[in-house]
Chain A
Amino acid sequence: MLIMRHELLLIVITVILLVVEIFLPNTRKRKIILPAILLMAAVTVIGFFPGTPGILFGGMYQSTQLSMLLKNILNVGVLIIFIQSVDWLKQDQNKEKISEFYLLMLSTLIGMNYMISSGNFLMFYLGLELATIPIAALAAYERFKEKSAEAGVKLIFISALSSGILLYGLSMIYGTTGTMYFADVAPLITGAPLQVLAFIFFFAGMAFKISLVPFHLWTADVYEGSPVNVASYLSVISKGAAVFIFTIILYTVFTKIAVLWSEVLYVIIILTITVGNLFAMRQQNLKRFLAFSSIAQAGFILLGIISQSQVGMTTVIYFVLVYIFSNLGAFGVVGIISNRTGKETINDYDGLYRTNPKLSLVMMLALFSLAGIPPLAGFFGKFFLFTAGAKQGYYILVLIALINTIISLYYYLLVIKAMFLNNSDQPIAYFKSDNYTRLGLILCVAGIVVIGFTSSVYELIYNLSFGLY
Chain B
Amino acid sequence: MSILTLFIIIPLLTIVGILFCKTDMQVKWVSVAGMGLQFINAIALILLFLAERRAGNIAEVLFVQDNLWYETLNIHFHVGVDGVSVAMIGLTSLVVFAGIFASWEIKDLHREFFTFLILLSSGVFGFFISLDLFTMFLFYELAVIPMYLLIGIWGSGPRHYSAMKLTLMLMGGSALIMLGLIGIYLNSAPNGGPLTWDIIKISKETLPMDMQRFLFPLLFVGFGVLGAMFPFHTWSPDGHASAPTAVSMLHAGVLMKLGGYGCYRVAVFLLPQAAHQVGWIFLILATIGVIYGAFGALWQKDLKYINAYSSVSHCGLVLFAILMFNQTAMNGAIMQMISHGIMTALFFALIGMIYGRTHTRYINEMGGLMKVMPFLSVAYVIAGLASLGLPGFSGFVAEMTIFVGAFQNADIFHRVVTIIAASSIVVTAVYILRVVGILLLGKIRNDEYEQLTDAKWYDKISVVSLILGITIIGVAPLWLSDMITGGLGPIVQKLLAAAPMMP
Docked complex Cα distance between A219 and B178 (Å): 31
Which residues of B are found within 8 Å of A409, using beta-carbon distances?
167-168, 171
Docked complex Cα distance between A374 and B133 (Å): 14
Docked complex Cα distance between A410 and B139 (Å): 21
The answer to the question of A16 belonging to the interface, with a C-beta cut-off of 8 Å to chain B, is no
Which residues of B are found within 8 Å of A417, using beta-carbon distances?
152, 160, 164
The answer to the question of B153 belonging to the interface, with a C-beta cut-off of 8 Å to chain A, is yes
A147 to chain B, nearest CB (A): 32
Q: Is the CB of B152 within 8 A of A406?
A: no
Determine the residue in chain B with the shortest Cβ distance to A396.
Answer: B179
Which of the residues A406, A410, A462 comes within 8 Å of B175, measured between beta carbons?
A406
- Mark out the residues of chain B between 108 and 147 whose CB falls within 8 Å of any chain A CB in the assembled complex: 134, 137-139, 141-142, 145
The answer to the question of A2 belonging to the interface, with a C-beta cut-off of 8 Å to chain B, is no
The answer to the question of A8 belonging to the interface, with a C-beta cut-off of 8 Å to chain B, is no
The answer to the question of A3 belonging to the interface, with a C-beta cut-off of 8 Å to chain B, is no
The answer to the question of A439 belonging to the interface, with a C-beta cut-off of 8 Å to chain B, is no
Docked complex Cα distance between A405 and B175 (Å): 8
Which stretch from B182-190, B381-389, B415-423 is at the chain A interface?
B182-190
Docked complex Cα distance between A323 and B167 (Å): 23
Q: Is the CB of B141 within 8 A of A373?
A: yes
Which stretch from B25-33, B65-73, B80-88, B482-490 is at the chain A interface?
B65-73
The answer to the question of B299 belonging to the interface, with a C-beta cut-off of 8 Å to chain A, is no
Known: A374-B141, A379-B141. Contact between A384 and B186, CB under 8 A?
A: no
Known: A375-B138, A384-B73. Contact between A403 and B175, CB under 8 A?
A: yes
Docked complex Cα distance between A384 and B214 (Å): 21
The answer to the question of B264 belonging to the interface, with a C-beta cut-off of 8 Å to chain A, is no
The answer to the question of A459 belonging to the interface, with a C-beta cut-off of 8 Å to chain B, is yes
Determine the residue in chain B with the shortest Cβ distance to A402.
Answer: B175
A155 to chain B, nearest CB (A): 35
Q: Which of B141, B153, B179: most chain A Cβ within 10 A?
A: B179
The answer to the question of A387 belonging to the interface, with a C-beta cut-off of 8 Å to chain B, is yes
- Mark out the residues of chain A between 415 and 433 whose CB falls within 8 Å of any chain B CB in the assembled complex: 416-417, 420-421
Which residues of B are found within 8 Å of A311, using beta-carbon distances?
72-73
A202 to chain B, nearest CB (A): 31
Q: Is the CB of A458 within 8 A of B141?
A: no
Docked complex Cα distance between A387 and B72 (Å): 12
The answer to the question of B172 belonging to the interface, with a C-beta cut-off of 8 Å to chain A, is yes
Known: A375-B142, A409-B167. Contact between A386 and B178, CB under 8 A?
A: yes
Determine the residue in chain A with the shortest Cβ distance to B145.
Answer: A373
Proximity bits, B53-71, A CB within 8 Å = 1, else 0? 0000000000000000111
Which of the residues B72, B149, B159 comes within 8 Å of A459, measured between beta carbons?
B72
Which residues of A are found within 8 Å of B163, using beta-carbon distances?
421
The answer to the question of B393 belonging to the interface, with a C-beta cut-off of 8 Å to chain A, is no
Docked complex Cα distance between A399 and B163 (Å): 24
Docked complex Cα distance between A440 and B178 (Å): 33
Chain A interface helix/strand/loop/mixed: helix
Docked complex Cα distance between A441 and B71 (Å): 30
Chain B interface helix/strand/loop/mixed: helix
Determine the residue in chain B with the shortest Cβ distance to A373.
Answer: B145
Which residues of A are found within 8 Å of B309, using beta-carbon distances?
none
Which residues of A are found within 8 Å of B75, using beta-carbon distances?
455
Q: Is the CB of B179 within 8 A of A390?
A: yes
Docked complex Cα distance between A311 and B195 (Å): 13
The answer to the question of A391 belonging to the interface, with a C-beta cut-off of 8 Å to chain B, is yes
A119 to chain B, nearest CB (A): 28
Known: A384-B73, A417-B164, A421-B160. Contact between A374 and B138, CB under 8 A?
A: yes
- Mark out the residues of chain A between 444 and 469 whose CB falls within 8 Å of any chain B CB in the assembled complex: 455, 458-459, 462
Q: Is the CB of B148 within 8 A of A413?
A: yes
The answer to the question of A368 belonging to the interface, with a C-beta cut-off of 8 Å to chain B, is yes
Q: Is the CB of A314 within 8 A of B72?
A: yes
Q: Which of A311, A383, A398, A403: most chain B Cβ within 10 A?
A: A383
Determine the residue in chain A with the shortest Cβ distance to B175.
Answer: A402
Docked complex Cα distance between A406 and B472 (Å): 42
Docked complex Cα distance between A398 and B186 (Å): 13
The answer to the question of A395 belonging to the interface, with a C-beta cut-off of 8 Å to chain B, is yes
Known: A368-B145, A406-B168, A409-B171. Contact between A395 and B152, CB under 8 A?
A: no
Q: Is the CB of B164 within 8 A of A395?
A: no
B325 to chain A, nearest CB (A): 27
Q: Is the CB of A406 within 8 A of B172?
A: yes
Which residues of A are found within 8 Å of B142, using beta-carbon distances?
374-375
22 CB contacts below 8 A, A to B, read A314-B72, A373-B141, A374-B137, A375-B138, A375-B142, A379-B141, A383-B182, A386-B182, A390-B182, A390-B186, A395-B183, A398-B179, A402-B176, A402-B179, A406-B168, A406-B175, A410-B164, A413-B167, A417-B152, A420-B149, A459-B71, A459-B72
CB within 8 Å of B: which residues of A? 311, 314, 368, 373-375, 379, 383-384, 386-387, 390-391, 395, 398-399, 402-403, 405-406, 409-410, 413, 416-417, 420-421, 455, 458-459, 462
- 5 A-B pairs with the lowest CB-CB distances in the bound complex, closest first: A402-B175, A421-B152, A374-B138, A455-B70, A390-B182
